Structure 1
Amino acid sequence: MNPGPEGPAGFRPGHRTRAGELGTWWSAVTADGRPGGALRFSPESVADPAARRRLAGVVTADLGFARGGRSGLLPVADLVAAGDDVWLLTAEPAAPTLADLLSEPPTAHGPGPGGAAAVLVETAQTLLALHAAGLAHGALHPGTVVVAADGSALLAERGLAGALRGRPAAPEHDVAAWASLATELAARWAAPYPEAAGLLERAAATASARGLAQARDVLLAGRDLLPDGFAGRDRLAEAARRRPAEATLPPGPVPGAPLPDEGGIATLLPAAAGGGRAGGDESTVLGSGSGAPAETEAARIWRGGRDGSSGAASRGRRASRGRVRRGRTALASVIIALMVVAGVLVWLFREPADPGTPLAVTGVQVTAPKKPQGCGTTVRITGVLSTNGSAGRIRYQWRRSDRRTPTEQTEEVEAGRTSHEVTLLWTVRGDGDFRGTATLRVLSPLPKGGKLQGRASFTYRCTS
């Protein structure tokens, strides 16, 4: 049995590559056998240590963005160095891209105007969330929009070009790039449908004149202009599935693979970055909450009803639902008002921690699944750190019973919360029985002469 990864962050390179502006993308297989991706930066672009530090800062920001409950970016697993090489590892494939789909001749079964609109709505929403979080993409074009297996549009290479060149990305560049993308999709996927093409072109013009939020809402409000039968994401998913897929690789190294073994790999991410570190079956989940702009009613309609039919029947259903919603509005308003009053009362009568009181950790609790885990399982082990409610930094470590070296982590906690959850993900593969024990130990702050730790165990059983 093999309870640990065999390569950097558990990744093994695949056989497919594509050239990009920043280097070469490789297909890859993650520690638990799922398809992933690996970007090998061109050596000259990462020769400067300052460029590597800027890359690490960008990737750390992406990890924080994703941990805040926000999606829309191609998920990053780690940023690692192997000698003179620097690799960005992603937890999902980085292909096909929108450029790949646009390179194919238009067909009746292609993404069409509905697919174009779906890409534009989702990328606009992701960009708006990035801008609200103080971030920007900086290199939006068809080659940096990945179409996932479910047809969703994920932005790749966020901020990387700016980090390598020492020029931070700017939101206004994203808006101009999105408008250009909308114009291109109108010409390529919506040309046979004048009304749909006009809708995409209006969205492009609106983005340039009034911003992304208004442009997105133009698309959502005009979805009845899209031809019947175009289901947006469904067409994109079909197009993505038609692209050649990377088969799951058997155990063992790939001949000629450029990635060395685990001993030659070092993560470039700081400890506080959490989940993106070598040994990708471990990650710490920090905090929650979203800085994304509020989703409009039109956006909710798009998300919830994009697979439904359009036209008179759909408008009739919306009218009937509208009558039901109006009947609920008064009750919902009363409930919200009561919740607001309750929140104010809790705030007024709470007992806040003295701002001058140092942070203290008062307890540690660790839990693991009680039922035996099956073949190829990623086990989630949860730790809860209890504090006195002050703000500060907690240093702690996870120690796995199958490894000698613990993994140290850091979490910044805010005042007013007395319970903080951290997570260890432990992947076990292969045949046999295995009992794993995870120990969570607080390093600081500690009571004088004290020791704070907790542990939990799980059982793995696999016979093939």
Structure 2
Amino acid sequence: MHDGGTVAGHRLTGRTRVSEVGTWHDAEGPGGEPSGLLRFNDHLLAAPGARERLVAAISADRRLAQSGQYGLLPVADLVAAHGEVWLIVGRRAVPTVADLLTGGSQLGWQPDAGSAATILIETAQTLLGLHAAGLTHGAVHPGTVVIGEDGSALLAERGLLEALRAEPASPERDIAAWQGLARTLSASWATGQPAQLLDHAASVAASRGLAAARDVLTNGRDMLPPGFSTRESLVRTLHAWSALPPVAAALPPARLPESGELQTLLDPARHPGGPPPAESGGMRFGPGVPADTSAAQIWRQGATQHSDPTAQSRRKARPKRRGAWLSSLVVCLLIAGFILYMRMAPPAEMAVSKVSVAAPKKTQGCDAKTKIMAVVTTNGEAGTFKYEWEQSDGRVTEGTQRVESGTTSVDLPLIWQVSGPGRFKGTATLRVLDHTPEGKPMAAKASFSYKC
């Protein structure tokens, strides 16, 4: 279990968990601060080029951190000794969402839908930052989402599977994995309207991407429990989990290195504090390096022409510059005219054109939770409409639904639970109250049968 041993001054505390790439150890840093260590599986390191790819992936993480990217478990170092390789991170690598899902019965406190939404919003934002930097995660699932001491959600093991197994990764794969995470949390920590909100966000991620899915959750905050924005439930869950006895994983034999035997693989002595500096006048690639814009190219070409020492070259350049100046002026006038036209033109409003409701045709059994699905068709413009569900047992549920630009249909599911013996016919009616033709409510209904 390595309880009490140290690696690079980090004392292993005994709590461990197994991941796809190795074994994580809870630890304390040289100053007593929380930290985590990942010992990589030997057979993964033995693959040709695995170490080099691993170093490249972790170096990219460090560059992201230096450029202000947040949301990843922060990397402190990558060290090797006796053929073993250890990743050191500056925060605890436990608990993960998987730990909270599997340990729910022992916690005495169940995370709520607000906890799920917080995790999904923060992981979506982190993935968006990675994709914008030209990187991917490659292994998003409950076991790689770590809950920090303040309730924040941090992604661990970014790019490690791709590096060690040479598995291809893509933004599309990350989005699909985020969808799976959303549906898992919806089924485990949410019911009713909050669950519908999480499922809707998962569907939006598939059709319109993570940014739109994140906005669905933030715009639906009224359907989430109080304290959602302050992470209260996650912090309380974290405290309950920390009180559980440590679980030790079955580990392969390992020889803990002495401090003097360690070798860092990130080579900070050669390039302290980050990647090697770019040569003067050279080209740089990778995260954090802005693309070469047209304006920059024009500025550089103008500077080159200005430094031409011959008068003849300057005289030849003047007509060209004059023609370019006139062309730029014409383009600017056209753009200004277009912007003025767009500002004067009234913005198109969202309009609801159709409402449909469907219920199961099969008779529902004892204590059934019947899902009634409604689809609201719009003209594709952005806006928010009001609606209400009326059930034949007398219950009425009111709500609002945000529609993003480009969306022409919205799902509004209703879960109707019936309990006890007997026969029952239930009718659910959906009314859209505004943004309808002539301003009149638009309605549709459907019925189901219950027998117990």
| Alignment partner, residue 435 of structure 1 | none
Specify whether residues 77 and 231 from structure 1 end up closer, same or farther in structure 2 by C-alpha distance, changes over 3 A only: same
Which protein has the larger Cα radius of gyration, Structure 1 or Structure 2?
2
Task: Determine if the alignment matches structure 1 residue 263 to structure 2 residue 260.
Answer: yes
3-state SS of the aligned residue for 1:40? Answer: strand
Alignment of 1:214-229 (within 5 A): 214-228=212-226
Choose 10-19 or 86-95, whichever is displaced more.
Answer: 10-19
- Is contact 1:13-1:259 (8 Å) kept? no
Specify whether residues 146 and 99 from structure 1 end up closer, same or farther in structure 2 by C-alpha distance, changes over 3 A only: same
Structure 1: state its 5+ residue gaps. 1-5, 248-255, 278-288, 293-343, 356-464
Q: How far off is 1:228 after superposition?
A: 3.5
Cα distance in 2 for partners of 1:263, 1:229 equals 48
Cα distance in 1 for partners of 2:203, 2:43 equals 38
Cα distance in 1 for partners of 2:266, 2:227 equals 46
- Is contact 1:116-1:232 (8 Å) kept? no
For residue 195 of structure 1, the aligned residue among 189, 193, 196 is 193
Q: How far off is 1:100 after superposition?
A: 0.6
| Alignment partner, residue 404 of structure 2 | none
3-state SS of the aligned residue for 1:219? Answer: helix
Cα distance in 2 for partners of 1:218, 1:25 equals 34
What per-residue deviation string (whole Å, max 9, x for no partner) do you get for residues 113-166 of structure 1? 100000000000000000000111000000000000100000000000010011
| Alignment partner, residue 184 of structure 1 | 184
Letter in 2 for 1:209: S
Cα distance in 2 for partners of 1:50, 1:92 equals 28
3-state SS of the aligned residue for 2:77? Answer: strand
Specify whether residues 273 and 99 from structure 1 end up closer, same or farther in structure 2 by C-alpha distance, changes over 3 A only: farther
Cα distance in 2 for partners of 1:8, 1:228 equals 42
| Alignment partner, residue 44 of structure 1 | 43
3-state SS of the aligned residue for 1:177? Answer: helix
What per-residue deviation string (whole Å, max 9, x for no partner) do you get for residues 358-414 of structure 1? xxxxxxxxxxxxxxxxxxxxxxxxxxxxxxxxxxxxxxxxxxxxxxxxxxxxxxxxx
- Is contact 1:122-1:153 (8 Å) kept? yes
Alignment of 1:142-157 (within 5 A): 142-157=142-157
3-state SS of the aligned residue for 2:242? Answer: coil
Q: How far off is 1:8 after superposition?
A: 4.5
Specify whether residues 30 and 105 from structure 1 end up closer, same or farther in structure 2 by C-alpha distance, changes over 3 A only: closer
Cα distance in 2 for partners of 1:224, 1:108 equals 26
| Alignment partner, residue 158 of structure 1 | 158
- Is contact 1:112-1:230 (8 Å) kept? no
- Is contact 1:38-1:89 (8 Å) kept? yes
Q: How far off is 1:273 after superposition?
A: 6.0
| Alignment partner, residue 237 of structure 1 | 235
- How many pairs does the alignment contain? 275
- Is contact 1:186-1:197 (8 Å) kept? yes
Cα distance in 1 for partners of 2:262, 2:48 equals 16
Cα distance in 2 for partners of 1:196, 1:273 equals 49
What per-residue deviation string (whole Å, max 9, x for no partner) do you get for residues 187-212 of structure 1? 10002xx1111100000000011100
- Is contact 1:35-1:93 (8 Å) kept? yes
Alignment of 1:93-112 (within 5 A): 93-105=92-104, 109-112=109-112
| Alignment partner, residue 15 of structure 2 | 16
Specify whether residues 245 and 157 from structure 1 end up closer, same or farther in structure 2 by C-alpha distance, changes over 3 A only: farther
- Is contact 2:201-2:217 (8 Å) kept? yes
Specify whether residues 49 and 207 from structure 1 end up closer, same or farther in structure 2 by C-alpha distance, changes over 3 A only: same
Specify whether residues 94 and 19 from structure 1 end up closer, same or farther in structure 2 by C-alpha distance, changes over 3 A only: same
3-state SS of the aligned residue for 2:94? Answer: coil
What per-residue deviation string (whole Å, max 9, x for no partner) do you get for residues 53-80 of structure 1? 1000000000000111121000111111
TM-score by length of 1: 0.54
Cα distance in 2 for partners of 1:203, 1:196 equals 11
Q: How far off is 1:36 after superposition?
A: 0.6
Alignment of 1:104-123 (within 5 A): 104-105=103-104, 109-123=109-123
3-state SS of the aligned residue for 1:54? Answer: helix
Cα distance in 2 for partners of 1:105, 1:245 equals 13
Q: How far off is 1:259 after superposition?
A: 2.3
Cα distance in 1 for partners of 2:259, 2:172 equals 41
3-state SS of the aligned residue for 1:243? Answer: helix
3-state SS of the aligned residue for 1:92? Answer: coil
- Is contact 2:8-2:258 (8 Å) kept? no
- State the identity as a percent: 51
RMSD between aligned residues: 3.3
| Alignment partner, residue 33 of structure 2 | 34
TM-score by length of 2: 0.56
Cα distance in 1 for partners of 2:274, 2:55 equals 10
Cα distance in 1 for partners of 2:45, 2:243 equals 30
| Alignment partner, residue 78 of structure 1 | 77
Choose 43-52 or 238-247, whichever is displaced more.
Answer: 238-247
- Is contact 2:15-2:26 (8 Å) kept? yes
3-state SS of the aligned residue for 1:38? Answer: strand
